[in-house]
Amino acid sequence: MRILIADDSKTMRMIVMRHLRQAGYGDGELVEANNGAEALQLTRNGHFDLVLSDWNMPELNGYEFLLAFRGDGGSSPFGFVTSESTPEMKQMALDAGARFFITKPFTADTISEHLSSVLVP
Amino acid sequence: MTGAPAVEIAGWLPAVFSAAEELATTALGYDGASLISAVAGMPCEAEGALVPLTSDRHSLQCGLFCSLDTCRSIVASMLGMDDGDELDDADVADALGEVANILGGGIKARMVASDSALTLGLPVVIKGSIEPLHTQAQAIAEVLLGDHRVWLVALTTSATA
This complex has an ipTM of 0.75
The size of chain B, in residues, is 161
CATH classification for the domain delimited by B9-157, as one of 3.40.1550.10, 2.40.50.100, 3.20.20.60, 3.40.50.300: 3.40.1550.10
Q: What are phi and psi of A4, to 5 degrees?
A: -100, 130
Q: Residue A2: name the closest of A47, A61, A60, A62 by CA.
A: A47
Give tens-digit pLDDT for A65-99. 999 999 999 999 999 999 888 888 899 999 999 99
Regarding beta strands A78-82 and A50-53, do their DSSP bridges make them parallel or antiparallel, or are they unpaired? parallel
| Alpha-carbon distance A15 to nearest alpha carbon in chain B (angstroms) | 6
Query: Does residue B123 contact residue A57 with C-beta atoms inside 8 Å?
Result: no
Q: Which pLDDT band holds residue B59 (cuts at 50, 70, 90)?
A: very high
- Which of the four pLDDT bands, split at 50, 70 and 90, describes residue B161? very low
| pTM, full prediction | 0.85
pLDDT band for position B20 (50/70/90)? very high
pLDDT > 70: percent of chain B: 94
Minimum CA–CA partner of A55 in chain B: B120
Cα dihedral: A9, A13, A14, A20 (round 10): 160
* Chain A residues with CB-CB distance to B79 below 8 A: 11, 14-15, 18
Taking CB atoms and an 8 Å limit, are A11 and B106 in contact across chains?
A: no
CB B114 within 8 A of CB B12: no
Model confidence pLDDT, tens digit, residues A2-51:
999 999 999 899 999 988 988 888 888 999 999 999 999 999 999 999 99
Chain A environment of B95 (Cβ under 8 Å): 9, 11
CA distances from B101 to A12, A23, A58, A121, B6 (A): 10, 24, 14, 29, 22
> Would the CB atoms of B101 and A104 count as touching at under 8 Å?
yes
- Does the beta-carbon distance from B94 to A10 stay under 8 Å? yes
Domains defined along chain A, listed by start: 2-115 (3.40.50.2300)
Phi and psi for A28 in degrees, rounded to 5?
-80, 175
* Contact flag A105-B112 (C-beta cutoff 8 Å): no
Per-residue pLDDT of B125-135, as tens digits, reads 999 888 888 88
Cα(A35)–Cα(A50) distance, integer angstroms: 16
CA dihedral B119, A39, A91, A108 (to 10 degrees): -90
Residue B38, beta-bridge partner list: B141
DSSP, residue by residue, chain A = -EEEEE-S-HHHHHHHHHHHHHTT-TTSEEEEESSHHHHHHHHHHS--SEEEE-SS-SSS-HHHHHHHHHHTT--S-EEEEES---HHHHHHHHHTT--EEEESS--HHHHHHHHTTT---
In this predicted structure, the answer to whether residue A59 has a pLDDT above a threshold of 50 is yes
Is the per-residue pLDDT at A63 higher than 90?
Answer: yes
| Residue of A8, A84, A105 lying closest to B27 (CB–CB) | A105
Q: Which helix (H) or strand (E) holds B93?
A: helix B89-111
Per-residue model confidence (pLDDT) at position B43: 78
Q: What is the average pLDDT value for chain B, to the nearest integer? A: 89
In this complex, is the C-beta atom of B104 within 8 Å of any C-beta atom belonging to chain A?
A: yes
Residues in B touching A58 (Cβ below 8 Å): 122
Nearest Cα to Cα of residue B137 among B107, B121, B160, B119? B160
Contacts of A108 (CB under 8 A, 6+ apart): A18, A19, A22, A23
Give me the mean pLDDT over the B28-37 stretch.
92
Q: Shortest Cα distance from B120 to chain A (angstroms)?
A: 7
